[in-house]
């Protein structure tokens, strides 16, 4: 990278982690603010204890996303996001059971999105112990 571009590195790092954290922050807030709708969706997907699961997932996503965006206890934040996304993808979007090709494609897209975001959480956790620019540290 040319030397002139290194001055933007801290801001690119901050922008990247904030953009990544938008999904867990927004989705976690939506889950918590509309817990009744979320629990109805989880009930349709045959998730046991939909209110508890929805509330816990919303809280974990919200806290994890904020921690990653702020760069504070980022390993814990990324872990919280990962722990919601992997079982969530498996339980909510089992595309391999869908008979209708359109439903299969839609569920596969949702599944792969959640798995991809979980991969981003692992990547974030891997670099969580290094010093991050423009972060709260920790």
Query: pLDDT tens digit string along 27-61?
Result: 999 999 999 999 999 999 889 999 999 999 999 99
Of the candidates 33, 32, 100, 89, which has an alpha carbon nearest to the alpha carbon of residue 61? Answer: 32
pLDDT at 42: 92
Domain boundaries, the chain: 8-126
| Residue 101: both structure tokens together | 């090709």
pTM: 0.90
Arithmetic mean of pLDDT, 112-136 = 92
């Amino acid at each position: 990278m040319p030397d002139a571009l290194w001055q933007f590195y801290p801001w690119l790092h901050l922008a990247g982690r904030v953009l990544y954290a938008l999904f867990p922050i927004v989705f976690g807030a939506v889950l918590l603010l509309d817990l009744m709708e979320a629990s109805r969706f989880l009930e349709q997907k045959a998730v046991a204890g939909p209110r508890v699961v929805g509330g816990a997932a919303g809280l974990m996503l919200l806290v994890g996303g904020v921690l990653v965006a702020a760069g504070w206890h980022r390993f814990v934040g990324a872990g919280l996001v990962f722990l919601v996304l992997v079982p969530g993808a498996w339980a909510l979007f089992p595309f391999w059971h869908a008979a209708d090709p359109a439903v299969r494609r839609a569920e596969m897209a949702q599944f792969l999105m959640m798995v991809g975001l979980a991969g981003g959480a692992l990547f974030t956790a891997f670099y969580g112990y290094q010093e991050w620019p423009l972060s709260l540290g920790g």
